[in-house]
Amino acid sequence: MPVESNQGSEFLPLTEATYFIMLSLVEPRHGYGIMQYVRELTRGGVRIGAGTLYGALATLQERNLIVPAESPGDHVGDGSRQRRVYVLTRLGRQVLGLELERQKALVSIGESILKEGGDSQDGKQKQQG
Amino acid sequence: MESRNNKGEPYPACAETVKGPSLQPRQKSNSGKSVTKRVFRFFWEWQDTLEEQWLSKMERDGWRLANVKGPFYTFVEAEPADAAYRSDYRELNETEVEEYFGLFADAGWEHVTSYSYLHYFRCLTEAADFPEIYSDSDSLVDKHRRRARRTLFAIVPYLPIWVTVMSRPIPSGKGSFLTGLYTVGKWGYVLLVAMAGYRLLRVYRLIRSV
């Protein structure tokens, strides 16, 4: 079934945490893997708390943007505990793409304004000089 | 220096708490039996930060949290330590329990105890580079909303009783047991609703300040 191009736009905008969690799940990862990956990606700039992460994973599953992955999660320590592995769904990928487009549009608007502002300030300085 | 687990991966936060020895209550060596203390203290749902700070203070004073049963807190005498406490509100079913507590353990939080849907976590602040369980305001607000919803639902089951009481004439007979019961039923629910309203207002104000 083909995915409509604007399907999933109701989930936008994504919070920063959700954005990074979804980015992490382009490949299958468990919760601990997500925490580490996000920390790596942002060089420690973005930290996701355990409560925030758990809530986001639950919500994303509810909305069918991520699903538990087929591959078994890795065992912790003595193997008594298994970590659940998640991966992005097709709809999830679509939403991530839409979010990226949204952010790009925001950035380009911001850049065009700041560039103009910067130019006019340069102009003033030139006039003064 | 960053702590690492047995696989050589760095712990994300609060690392010391997940290492073996500190998981056990540190008992005073001169006596074999651990000394416990039971304290009654009531916190409203909008006072969770106050409660967390109080638990930290207790541990600095040498009393480490062991158990919570509503407003009854049990502490074990332990070596004073700088620890952060966080309480989370989450209604979990059996299939979610392992994943939920697993995530907190992975993030370096030690699960101390749970009472109903309230879960208490602890980590040593010296090891914590990020001692928060909620990293953005949206998810923190969600926690307060979940708890407030419960406050609201607590008054609903009494509604049929109240309607029944209100729809019938008060039985005559001065000072009879039934008359007393009807009066209590009539005003008890009104009081319950007023109380819930006040609690929701306080939580709403807290959410506004997040």
Residue contact B135–A35, C-beta within 8 A: no
Q: What is the pLDDT of residue B39?
A: 96
Tell whether B133 is within 8 A of chain A (Cβ): yes
d(CA B25, CA B15): 17
What is the per-residue DSSP string for B123-182?
A: EEGGG-S---S--SHHHHHHHHHHHHHHHHHHHGGGHHHHHHHHHSPPP-STT-HHHHHH
Residues of A in contact with B135 (CB under 8 A): 17, 47-49, 52
Tell whether B43 is within 8 A of chain A (Cβ): no
d(CA B33, CA B27): 8
Task: Summarize pLDDT for B5-35 with one digit per residue, the tens.
Answer: 444 444 445 543 444 444 444 444 455 678 9
Task: Summarize pLDDT for A55-94 with one digit per residue, the tens.
Answer: 999 999 999 999 998 766 566 666 667 889 999 999 999 9
Neighbours of B176 (CB within 10 A): 12
> Which two three-digit tokens encode residue A30?
């468990």
Q: Quote the minimal CA–CA distance from A46 to chain B in Å.
A: 9
- Look at A74-83, B1-10, B37-46, B153-162 and tell me which has the smallest mean pLDDT: B1-10
Across all residues in chain A, what is the average pLDDT? 86
pLDDT band at B2 (very low <50, low <70, confident <90, very high): very low
Q: Which amino acid, B106?
A: D
Q: What is the pLDDT of residue B6?
A: 45
Average pLDDT over residues A102-129: 74
Is the pLDDT reported for residue A40 higher than 70?
yes
Across all residues in chain B, what is the average pLDDT? 83
Q: Hey, which residues 48-77 in chain A have their CB within 8 Å of chain B?
A: 48-56, 58, 76-77
CA-nearest residue to A83 within chain B is B99
- Look at A60-74, B37-51, B58-72, B83-97 and tell me which has the smallest mean pLDDT: A60-74
Q: Quote the minimal CA–CA distance from A2 to chain B in Å.
A: 32
Q: What is the ipTM of this complex?
A: 0.82
- Suggest the residue from A38, A54, A81 to mutate for an interface test with chain B (most B CBs closer than 10 A): A54
Q: What is the pLDDT of residue A118?
A: 57
